[in-house]
Amino acid sequence: MHDPLIGTLLDGRYQVEQRIAAGGMSTVYKGTDTRLDRVVALKVMHPQLAGDEGFTARFIREAKAIARLTHPNVVNVFDQGADGGNVFLAMEYVPGRTLRDLLRDRGALSVRAALDVLEPVLAALGAAHRAGLVHRDVKPENVLITDGGLVKVADFGLVRVLGTADGAPTSVTTSTGGTVLGTVSYLAPEQILPDAPTDQRVDVYAAGILLYEMLTGRRPHTGDNPVQVMYKHLHEDVPAPSLVAPAVAPALDAIVAFACARAAEARPYDAVELLAALQRVRRTLTPAELDAEPPASTRPSPRYPTGEATSVLRQRPAPADLRPAPPERTSVLDVPADLMEQLLTEPRPYDEPTPVRRTRPPRLRRLPRRPLIWAGALTALVLLVGGATYGLNQGLYGSVPAVLGKDRAEAQRDLDGQGMHARFVEVFSESVPAGQVISTDPGIGARTRKSDTVTVTVSKGPKRIAVPDVTGKTTDQAVSALTGVQLIKGNVTQTYNDSVAEGTVISSSPAAGQLLPENSSVSLVVSKGMVPVPDVTGMSKEDAQRTLQAAGFSMQTSGVNLFGTGKVSGQSPAAGERRPQKTVVTVNFPFL
């Protein structure tokens, strides 16, 4: 059926051209901003929801929320407006596909590819969390991957501002049951419970589900209906990925368990803390553990952010029970009262008190009076020494404060407050903004002596390399100069040049001084030197002139060619000699 919006002009500015995707609350179109002549993505709320002030307010809230974020892994919002009954957002258009598309195509990903996708997702969520925002709808459909491998998080439609009542509730209790808002497979337990407080750790939970799904090719909790899935979120732990993909290292099982703990307080504090833990684990994995293909993989995994592999080494269908799950829409789910009561009354393991075994103490033999006195004195001495030792330990030891994502000055201030010494090191990072703390050693929360040094790793931002000046160098020298700064020789084009010696670089593209990512290619234009004079002997005067002019030379004649029928009998300079262009070539005709 024809979409009536296609071909229309929203707000007198945005030309709607093509439908990209449809969700539970809105439809996304590809369009053109006719004022700035750029391609945009237009997110238009479904007409039946546009009349609801709550949903309209959420749309406006999304635009304002993303406008507060400046991060390379977050889809930018350019504009928000309304045209008649169409409420819309104009956003950055990201050519490529979603993580759901990638999983549908490949079944599951290697550990390396999964981490290359998840790390920028956590970096984007971490920036949102540090700005006081919670996404609340993290799922593969909202992770976009460009053709060049850049990962971006989209759709902040359920965003909530921490510390305020801003944002739509994720669960609402009614007299007849309950309403759960979100995508069921990725909901944290507290999003299902009525009136339960939610914070940034719901995004951490969903990120753990993402990692499980990328490693195994399926979701951890499934059921015949959404209520069964919610029940499992409340009452069952997320299983270890290695049960489905045996090559997954135990450390990654632990990361998934950490992120998907049913009790929010048992999870990482936010996405920044989870990202740091993930990067620490990644450094411990061997190449074999990183590149092992999971059983559900139908094709070799792409490697991000360098781009997707161009060759398909293996084509085999995934086992039926491991094929990737279909997409799941964000929805407003009405739960009947009896089912909601069943969900809420079943005891959750992490709420149950740990049973305490009570035993009767053994009966003591009555001791003589003097030994009792000595025993009392000994007990007092032990308590005195123990108390002194405890106090001493409290003074000598401390816990590393949470400084991940903070700048250097803030980290120094927090560590000084704990009486700890800090040593700062800087490394390049594609996912953590420059100046922010990536990790600490010992890790956050670790107990350490205050006299020991805490190594704080700070991001220098993405590594960028200035293109060296290779003009005037030989091709081999230019290639050596590029390799020396971790750049790669690209296309080499040869052209004649009067002023540059043969085999010498005339120019490069990009030009010298431009900044490029590591292992980028640089094209070279190399001189072929002066132009060889073409051979025109035996040609007519007209043919000889055309040939010489095409090579960049001019012509003068010698001899008599009264009737114009003579052929060139000789030339100077001789054919094959190299001369600058525009050189005059003398051609000889016989005396006729």
**Cα separation, 444 vs 450, whole angstroms:** 14
Active-site annotation, residues: 137
CA atoms within a 13 Å half-sphere pointing along the CA-CB vector of 336: 4
CB atoms within 10 A of CB 164: 8
- As given in the structure block, the two tokens for residue 404 are 């991940």
| Residues sharing a CB contact under 8 Å with residue 242, sequence separation 6 or more, in sequence order | 248, 249, 250, 252, 253
| Residues sharing a CB contact under 8 Å with residue 351, sequence separation 6 or more, in sequence order | none
* SS3 state at 51: coil
Contact assessment for residue 227 and residue 235, using Cβ atoms and an 8 Å cutoff: no
**Cα separation, 118 vs 102, whole angstroms:** 13
Contact assessment for residue 207 and residue 255, using Cβ atoms and an 8 Å cutoff: no
Biggest alpha carbon–alpha carbon distance for the chain: 150
Before 72, cis peptide (omega within 30)? no
* SS3 state at 312: coil
Distances in whole angstroms, Cα of residue 554 to Cα of each of 527, 551, 586, 590:
22, 9, 9, 20
The rounded Cα 178 to chain-centroid distance in angstroms is 35
Contact assessment for residue 87 and residue 14, using Cβ atoms and an 8 Å cutoff: no
**Cα separation, 159 vs 161, whole angstroms:** 7
**Cα separation, 154 vs 89, whole angstroms:** 12
- As given in the structure block, the two tokens for residue 592 are 């006729």
Distances in whole angstroms, Cα of residue 515 to Cα of each of 71, 478, 519:
19, 17, 12
The rounded Cα 4 to chain-centroid distance in angstroms is 35
Label the pairing between strands 531-532 and 331-336.
unpaired
Using a CB cutoff of 8 Å and minimum separation of 24, what contacts does 341-344 make?
342/231, 343/192, 343/227, 343/230, 343/231, 343/234, 344/193, 344/194
CB atoms within 10 A of CB 73: 22
Contact assessment for residue 268 and residue 224, using Cβ atoms and an 8 Å cutoff: no
| Residues sharing a CB contact under 8 Å with residue 411, sequence separation 6 or more, in sequence order | 403, 422, 424, 437, 456, 458
The rounded Cα 277 to chain-centroid distance in angstroms is 16
DSSP 318: P
